[in-house]
Structure 1
């Protein structure tokens, strides 16, 4: 009889620690996996693995970055188990058949037809260009520029120095800029406007 209240107490303590961070963990998992189902599975795997480690969770000072680091490691382990498959998007390594286009989910601040036309034109181009980045580069750009993570948090979660995050982010943005310019350039190599 004394065992049941102990379990409830442990469960409640665990929920109180983890529940406030589940939404952030899911968003991070979605950026990594690229699909709702895979992101949910990834978060669930992490939560199940952490439940027996309640005492360790309670001793962590900044739980959010710690949980995201555990989530990232779990994702990397899943990718490694699937085997190395070249420089393909991470979402394809998990299950690339129904890759959700995150650009299509972004809402335009302007509701006019010009904004819709521009989004329709740029969305697929930006998506193609992002897919040419390595998985690490794409994750870095999505975390910082799309999800709004601070560079310090990215460095902590990915376990790399802050200077490395800054330089990689700078290089990724420069590559994206060049590739977007090439994709959107109306003039062909011959110097004439493309037909």
Structure 2
């Protein structure tokens, strides 16, 4: 077996392990964000835009340099010249959605918000497929099914446990508090 044969066998496994590790780190960061948002909401802190600012700053610092070094159609200048308005609309929708999620911590429980968070992934995949013409592999659709099964499992666990979370108090003020 040559060195190239060995690399071709272990390269997909290494990529898979790297992807799983990165997903776990992302999950840990999302969990930290959710916990801190719940803690701040319980303490009476109402700064949803400021709480999301760090996430957006990290995304800017991570992806802008990456897109700047790409060549061809993946370059940031090419993307901004051709699809700037689509990314602007999706960015505005994302900012508003994050605002509403962080604001929701003042009105409901962590479990309810995690349900919302789990459902966001499939919805954003559909929106990016429609508006950004993103194409997904079958593995991505399997991941969406796993997300939806997770949503169902969380709902089922709440039903089995007999929890009545989120009393609904001030539910309409979440929408009209802006």
Q: TM-score, normalised by structure 2?
A: 0.31
Task: Tell me which protein shows more helix as a share of its residues.
Answer: 2
* TM-score of the two chains, using structure 1 as the length reference: 0.29
